[in-house]
Structure 1
Amino acid sequence: MTPSPLPAADEQAALWNGPGGQAWVDVQPMLDELFAPVAELMIETAAIASGDHVLDVGCGTGATSLLAADAAGPMGSCLGIDISGPMVDRARQRAAAAASTARFACADAQTHAFGPGARTRLLSRFGLMFFADPAAAFRNLHRAAAAGGTLTAIVWRSATENPFMTAAERAASAALPGLPLRRPDGPGQFAFADAGRVGRLMHEGGWTDVALEPVDLPLQMPLTALPVYVERLGPLGRILPSVAGETRPALLAAVQSAFTPFIRQERVCFDAACWLLRGRKA
């Protein structure tokens, strides 16, 4: 008998507290470098001031929370929240090593009992697309925001606009019929591709002055990091450990060749097609 699929929230918790979350911990320095332009744009747009109280949603291993805590200064604060225990543990280690005031909670931001009206700035770098019930999540985040507080987030646009992000699974799909499929409207990486849908979800959650601006951010990483990226991240990274050892080298060679269009000398370069999402609590 085929087992029943997990509810969306449980599925995400299992993923990010298992191999998916551990992979992000293991390659954290590479991902911080890769997504640095994304973090910089978000922090700049959020205009965090000294004394602000920041909530970083889907904080991962803490890179954006550390930046936000620095911007808020000693009179402010930053709480990073993520469903992944391994990533939150890593974020706490980084904060301690940096003597940062950033604090972290391992919880689901869709349901977590935040202090009402306490947060003046809400942020999320690629963290909003994984909620089981996005409308409920936006309502809960709205309750956490102070009057006049803002939400600034960056999310992916569509898979077709981000060929780099789907290159590995497209190259592997013929050889791996069991490769997990990305489901339209998520939860998942491209769940917020439809700007109209995202706008409606935010309005349902109580946010005003909602705006989605398309941004295309040039990202890059060393060519030497590509094998690790291919083998550890995304749908392919999750299924690769179950692939027979004798077939794996040929599969990986075929997949890595799919990235040839993105190689510039000793760098891997591509544009990340994203939405810069903003809203305000009236």
Structure 2
Amino acid sequence: MAEGPDGEGPNAAQIAYWNSQSCAGWLTEHERLDALFAPLTEAALAAAAPYPGERAADVGCGAGATVLALARAVGPGGGVLGLDVSERLVARARERIAEAGLDATARVELADAALRPFAAEADLLFSRFGVMFFADPVAAFANLRRALRPEGRMAFVAWRPLAENPWFRLPVEAAREHLPPSTDPPPEPCAPGPFAFDDLERVRGILAAAGWRGVEIAPHDPMMRLAPAAGAVAAARDAAAVGPLARALAGAGEEERRRAVDAVAEALRAHDGPGGVVLPGAVWLVSARP
């Protein structure tokens, strides 16, 4: 039997997307994305407070930055299991674990965490932007709860509303008049995606329905450094390589793409200062117990 999710369950569309050419940028740009999200990783890990000897599961671990951070925190006496549905990102995460010499502490599995059978072995269930993509989040979080020991805990970070995240919103808005017509229907409210957990009360309701207790949700307002100083053009090109603008430009010709990148660079120059190209971000830091 082939390893990994079969693509026939409730998350089939997400599995297909994260294994499509549309997501190639998440692999080629993973080091830049690690740097961009580093302050958020630090905040999420501080909230999770992993300590030596613990066992952790990392949901939606991508190219492995958070698996490596967790492995260093729990040390050789602990263990980390990373889970992701993208074959290419899982392969890169495994390479990075080997490169770091952390094979004895960490491993990554190609699996749909919403459906994977779990034994109650983990002390910590962690995720950095990996839990907003479930078609049935209540069922998914009920399944994830089975991964934890009775005294375990969960900590994850998810985006607050798009309106509160100009670093994410501005590139698409600046490029809008240069984008090819979209053939995709507008997403349904609360559809799986980056902002599926933007509503605090919806998150509380999902976790309560899935059996989680002691839910705590705190806002966190990082500044997102998109590029070094004088880097508006580089930041615009990066935005066109991965994320919502890249998806919107999927059918664009070379001239359309050039005009879009130029428009984004012009908009970003207003946010380019001595500290770099910086815009506000907004996330929820969520914790709960099984």
TM-score (norm 1): 0.91
How far did residue 248 of structure 1 move? 2.5
* Post-superposition CA distance 1:160-212 (Å, at most 9, x none): 11122011222233333317545431201111010000001001111100011
CA offsets, 1:49-83, max 9 Å, x none? 11111000110111011110111111210001011
The within-5 A match list for 1:1-282 is 9-100=11-102, 101-114=105-118, 116-176=119-179, 177-178=181-182, 180=184, 181-222=186-227, 223=231, 225-265=234-274, 267-281=276-290
Across the two proteins, how many residue pairs are aligned to each other? Answer: 275
The 2-side partners of 1:106 and 1:194 are apart by 29
**AA of the residue aligned to 1:257:** E
* C-alpha contact (below 8 Å) 2:58/2:125 kept by paired residues: yes
Paired with 2:274 and 2:33, the residues of 1 have a C-alpha distance of 20
SS at match of 1:259: helix
1:274 partner amino acid = V
**Which AA in structure 2 matches 1:234?**
G
Helix, strand or coil at the partner of 1:276: strand
Query: CA 1:31 to 1:190, structure 2 compared with 1: closer, same or farther past 3 Å?
Result: same
Q: Unpaired runs of 5+ in structure 2?
A: 1-7
CA distance in 1, matches of 2:97, 2:111: 18
The question of whether the paired residues in 1 share the 8 Å contact of 2:11 and 2:134 is answered with yes
The runs of at least 4 aligned residues of structure 1 exceeding 3 Å deviation read 179-183
Instruction: Give the whole-Å Cα distance in 2 for the aligned partners of 1:232 and 1:161.
Output: 22
Per-residue CA distance 1:73-122 (angstroms, 9 max, x = gap): 112100010111111111001000001121001111111112x2111101
Displacement, 1:241?
4.0
Partner secondary structure for residue 163 of structure 2: coil
Task: Show structure 1 runs of 5+ residues with no match.
Answer: 1-5
2:252 partner letter: V
* AA partner of residue 30 (structure 1): R
Q: Distance in 2 between matches of 1:7 and 1:170?
A: 34
SS of 2:235's equivalent? helix
Counting aligned pairs with the same residue, the percent is: 38
Q: 1:77 to 1:225 in 2, by over 3 A?
A: farther
Question: What is the deviation of 1:219?
Answer: 2.4
